[in-house]
Amino acid sequence: MLRMFGLALGLWLAPTVAFAQETVDIGVVKQSQLSVVQKLLYPKSDRTELGIHLGLMPGQLLTTPNLQFSFDRHLSERLAVGGSLGGGYGLKTGMYRELESPLYGVAPDAYRYLASAKVGAQFSPAYAKMNLGGKRIVHYDVYAGAHLGASLEQSVIPGGGITVAPGLSLSLGSRFFLPKGGAIRVQVQDDLLIEHRKLTDSTHFKQNVNVTIGYSFFSPKPGKR
Protein backbone atom coordinates (compact mmCIF):
# COMPACT_ATOMS: atom_id res chain seq x y z
CA MET A 1 0.00 0.00 0.00
CA LEU A 2 2.80 2.42 0.93
CA ARG A 3 4.64 1.60 -2.31
CA MET A 4 1.58 2.41 -4.38
CA PHE A 5 1.11 5.73 -2.56
CA GLY A 6 4.77 6.68 -3.11
CA LEU A 7 4.57 5.82 -6.82
CA ALA A 8 1.45 7.92 -7.26
CA LEU A 9 3.02 10.89 -5.44
CA GLY A 10 6.12 10.67 -7.63
CA LEU A 11 4.09 10.66 -10.84
CA TRP A 12 2.15 13.72 -9.63
CA LEU A 13 5.33 15.73 -8.75
CA ALA A 14 7.33 14.82 -11.86
CA PRO A 15 5.87 17.50 -14.20
CA THR A 16 6.34 20.17 -11.53
CA VAL A 17 10.01 19.30 -11.02
CA ALA A 18 10.68 19.22 -14.74
CA PHE A 19 9.08 22.62 -15.15
CA ALA A 20 11.22 24.11 -12.35
CA GLN A 21 14.41 22.89 -14.02
CA GLU A 22 13.67 24.51 -17.37
CA THR A 23 15.95 27.44 -18.33
CA VAL A 24 14.87 30.79 -19.68
CA ASP A 25 16.70 32.12 -22.76
CA ILE A 26 17.39 35.83 -22.29
CA GLY A 27 19.45 36.18 -25.45
CA VAL A 28 23.05 37.38 -25.86
CA VAL A 29 24.42 39.78 -23.25
CA LYS A 30 26.83 42.31 -24.76
CA GLN A 31 30.11 43.21 -23.06
CA SER A 32 28.98 46.85 -22.95
CA GLN A 33 25.98 45.80 -20.85
CA LEU A 34 28.17 44.35 -18.10
CA SER A 35 29.57 46.61 -15.41
CA VAL A 36 31.24 46.21 -12.04
CA VAL A 37 30.50 48.86 -9.45
CA GLN A 38 33.16 49.33 -6.78
CA LYS A 39 33.37 52.16 -4.29
CA LEU A 40 36.93 53.46 -4.04
CA LEU A 41 38.27 53.19 -0.52
CA TYR A 42 40.90 55.88 -1.18
CA PRO A 43 39.55 58.38 -3.76
CA LYS A 44 41.76 61.13 -5.20
CA SER A 45 39.25 63.18 -7.19
CA ASP A 46 38.90 66.84 -6.13
CA ARG A 47 41.73 66.52 -3.59
CA THR A 48 45.15 68.15 -3.27
CA GLU A 49 48.23 65.99 -2.74
CA LEU A 50 51.47 67.27 -1.20
CA GLY A 51 54.51 65.02 -1.13
CA ILE A 52 58.10 64.90 0.07
CA HIS A 53 60.47 62.43 -1.57
CA LEU A 54 64.03 61.18 -1.13
CA GLY A 55 65.77 60.48 -4.42
CA LEU A 56 68.95 59.11 -5.91
CA MET A 57 70.35 59.73 -9.40
CA PRO A 58 72.88 56.93 -10.03
CA GLY A 59 75.62 57.44 -12.59
CA GLN A 60 79.10 56.34 -13.64
CA LEU A 61 80.76 59.70 -12.93
CA LEU A 62 78.38 61.29 -10.40
CA THR A 63 75.89 59.97 -7.86
CA THR A 64 73.30 62.49 -6.74
CA PRO A 65 71.23 62.24 -3.55
CA ASN A 66 68.33 64.69 -3.72
CA LEU A 67 65.11 65.86 -2.09
CA GLN A 68 61.91 66.58 -4.04
CA PHE A 69 58.68 68.35 -3.06
CA SER A 70 55.58 67.66 -5.17
CA PHE A 71 52.17 69.30 -5.57
CA ASP A 72 49.27 67.68 -7.43
CA ARG A 73 45.65 68.72 -7.83
CA HIS A 74 43.51 65.73 -8.78
CA LEU A 75 40.82 66.85 -11.24
CA SER A 76 39.47 63.28 -11.38
CA GLU A 77 40.54 59.78 -10.39
CA ARG A 78 42.63 59.62 -13.56
CA LEU A 79 43.91 63.13 -14.26
CA ALA A 80 45.97 65.50 -12.11
CA VAL A 81 47.95 68.68 -12.73
CA GLY A 82 50.84 69.93 -10.62
CA GLY A 83 54.55 70.30 -10.32
CA SER A 84 57.65 69.80 -8.23
CA LEU A 85 60.64 71.59 -6.74
CA GLY A 86 63.85 69.77 -5.92
CA GLY A 87 67.43 70.12 -4.84
CA GLY A 88 70.50 67.95 -4.46
CA TYR A 89 74.24 67.66 -5.02
CA GLY A 90 76.22 65.43 -7.37
CA LEU A 91 79.06 63.54 -5.69
CA LYS A 92 82.06 62.15 -7.54
CA THR A 93 82.08 58.38 -7.93
CA GLY A 94 85.12 56.15 -7.58
CA MET A 95 85.47 56.09 -11.36
CA TYR A 96 85.62 59.90 -11.55
CA ARG A 97 88.21 60.10 -8.76
CA GLU A 98 90.31 57.46 -10.50
CA LEU A 99 90.19 59.32 -13.82
CA GLU A 100 91.35 62.59 -12.22
CA SER A 101 94.11 60.89 -10.22
CA PRO A 102 97.80 61.32 -11.23
CA LEU A 103 97.63 57.90 -12.92
CA TYR A 104 95.28 59.18 -15.66
CA GLY A 105 95.17 62.95 -15.13
CA VAL A 106 91.79 63.37 -16.84
CA ALA A 107 88.95 65.39 -15.35
CA PRO A 108 85.72 64.73 -17.31
CA ASP A 109 83.53 67.77 -17.97
CA ALA A 110 80.60 66.42 -15.92
CA TYR A 111 77.77 68.60 -14.63
CA ARG A 112 76.19 68.00 -11.23
CA TYR A 113 72.52 68.50 -10.42
CA LEU A 114 71.75 71.35 -8.00
CA ALA A 115 68.02 72.14 -8.30
CA SER A 116 64.98 71.80 -10.54
CA ALA A 117 61.43 73.11 -11.09
CA LYS A 118 58.74 71.43 -13.22
CA VAL A 119 55.03 71.69 -14.06
CA GLY A 120 52.83 69.25 -15.94
CA ALA A 121 50.17 66.56 -15.78
CA GLN A 122 49.76 63.05 -14.46
CA PHE A 123 47.53 60.22 -15.71
CA SER A 124 46.44 57.31 -13.50
CA PRO A 125 44.92 54.52 -15.62
CA ALA A 126 44.64 51.88 -12.88
CA TYR A 127 43.49 51.51 -9.28
CA ALA A 128 43.81 48.06 -7.75
CA LYS A 129 44.37 46.08 -4.58
CA MET A 130 46.54 43.10 -3.69
CA ASN A 131 46.75 40.56 -0.88
CA LEU A 132 49.98 40.55 1.13
CA GLY A 133 50.60 37.13 2.63
CA GLY A 134 46.91 36.59 3.25
CA LYS A 135 47.00 39.08 6.13
CA ARG A 136 46.54 42.52 4.59
CA ILE A 137 44.89 44.10 1.57
CA VAL A 138 46.90 46.93 0.02
CA HIS A 139 45.21 49.48 -2.26
CA TYR A 140 47.41 51.16 -4.86
CA ASP A 141 47.34 53.02 -8.15
CA VAL A 142 49.70 53.26 -11.12
CA TYR A 143 50.43 56.53 -12.91
CA ALA A 144 52.48 58.13 -15.68
CA GLY A 145 53.52 61.78 -15.80
CA ALA A 146 54.90 64.33 -18.25
CA HIS A 147 56.31 67.65 -17.06
CA LEU A 148 58.19 70.58 -18.55
CA GLY A 149 60.83 72.44 -16.55
CA ALA A 150 64.48 73.19 -16.05
CA SER A 151 67.41 72.01 -13.96
CA LEU A 152 70.20 74.09 -12.48
CA GLU A 153 73.54 72.32 -12.96
CA GLN A 154 77.16 73.08 -12.16
CA SER A 155 80.37 71.87 -13.77
CA VAL A 156 82.46 69.65 -11.52
CA ILE A 157 85.61 71.32 -12.94
CA PRO A 158 86.42 74.54 -11.04
CA GLY A 159 85.55 77.56 -13.15
CA GLY A 160 83.34 75.48 -15.42
CA GLY A 161 80.32 77.58 -14.60
CA ILE A 162 76.63 77.00 -13.92
CA THR A 163 73.96 76.36 -16.54
CA VAL A 164 70.16 76.23 -16.65
CA ALA A 165 69.06 73.23 -18.72
CA PRO A 166 65.45 73.14 -19.98
CA GLY A 167 63.85 69.81 -20.71
CA LEU A 168 61.06 67.24 -20.56
CA SER A 169 60.54 64.97 -17.57
CA LEU A 170 58.79 61.59 -17.97
CA SER A 171 57.83 59.47 -14.97
CA LEU A 172 56.22 56.19 -13.92
CA GLY A 173 55.12 55.53 -10.37
CA SER A 174 52.69 54.07 -7.89
CA ARG A 175 50.94 55.15 -4.69
CA PHE A 176 50.41 52.63 -1.90
CA PHE A 177 47.56 54.01 0.22
CA LEU A 178 47.80 53.80 4.00
CA PRO A 179 44.81 52.91 6.23
CA LYS A 180 45.16 56.05 8.37
CA GLY A 181 45.53 58.40 5.40
CA GLY A 182 48.30 59.41 3.06
CA ALA A 183 50.29 57.19 0.76
CA ILE A 184 53.77 55.82 0.16
CA ARG A 185 54.81 56.94 -3.31
CA VAL A 186 57.49 55.21 -5.42
CA GLN A 187 58.59 56.74 -8.73
CA VAL A 188 61.15 56.47 -11.53
CA GLN A 189 61.75 59.71 -13.40
CA ASP A 190 63.79 60.47 -16.51
CA ASP A 191 64.74 64.12 -17.12
CA LEU A 192 65.70 64.76 -20.75
CA LEU A 193 67.77 67.96 -20.73
CA ILE A 194 69.49 70.27 -23.19
CA GLU A 195 72.38 72.13 -21.58
CA HIS A 196 75.02 74.57 -22.81
CA ARG A 197 78.49 74.04 -21.35
CA LYS A 198 80.77 77.01 -20.79
CA LEU A 199 84.18 75.32 -20.94
CA THR A 200 83.65 73.79 -24.38
CA ASP A 201 81.09 76.36 -25.57
CA SER A 202 78.90 73.51 -26.81
CA THR A 203 75.35 72.23 -26.35
CA HIS A 204 74.76 68.71 -25.04
CA PHE A 205 71.85 66.33 -24.47
CA LYS A 206 71.77 64.86 -20.97
CA GLN A 207 69.62 62.40 -19.03
CA ASN A 208 69.06 62.51 -15.27
CA VAL A 209 67.36 59.30 -14.11
CA ASN A 210 65.99 59.73 -10.59
CA VAL A 211 64.53 56.98 -8.36
CA THR A 212 62.46 58.36 -5.48
CA ILE A 213 60.43 57.13 -2.54
CA GLY A 214 58.33 59.45 -0.41
CA TYR A 215 55.18 60.18 1.54
CA SER A 216 52.10 62.05 0.31
CA PHE A 217 49.52 64.00 2.32
CA PHE A 218 46.00 64.45 0.94
CA SER A 219 43.48 67.21 1.63
CA PRO A 220 40.18 66.02 3.19
CA LYS A 221 37.70 64.18 1.03
CA PRO A 222 34.99 66.38 -0.53
CA GLY A 223 32.22 66.90 2.01
CA LYS A 224 34.48 66.01 4.95
CA ARG A 225 36.10 69.15 6.37
> So where are the chain's domains?
50-218
d(CA 213, CA 52) in angstroms, rounded, equals: 9
The architecture of the domain spanning 50-218 is Beta Barrel (2.40)
d(CA 127, CA 145) in angstroms, rounded, equals: 16
- Given a cut of 50, is residue 23 above it in pLDDT? yes
- Given a cut of 80, is residue 65 above it in pLDDT? yes
User: What pTM was estimated for this model as a whole?
Assistant: 0.79
Please classify residue 175 by burial: count the beta carbons closer than 10 Å to its beta carbon, then call 0-12 exposed, 13-18 middle and 19+ buried.
buried
pLDDT digits (tens, 9 = 90+) for 150-199: 999 999 998 889 999 999 999 999 999 999 889 999 999 999 999 998 88
d(CA 74, CA 158) in angstroms, rounded, equals: 44
Q: Which helix or strand (DSSP H or E) is residue 14 part of?
A: helix 2-20
Mean per-residue pLDDT over the chain, rounded? 86
d(CA 203, CA 110) in angstroms, rounded, equals: 13
Using only C-alpha atoms, what is the Rg of the chain?
A: 30
Cα–Cα distance list, 15 to 2, 4, 20, 220 (Å): 22, 19, 9, 62
User: What pLDDT is attached to residue 38?
Assistant: 59
User: What pLDDT is attached to residue 80?
Assistant: 98
d(CA 155, CA 199) in angstroms, rounded, equals: 9
d(CA 116, CA 120) in angstroms, rounded, equals: 14
- Asked if 87 and 67 touch (Cβ cutoff 8 Å), the reply is yes
What does DSSP assign to residue 182? -
- Given a cut of 50, is residue 64 above it in pLDDT? yes
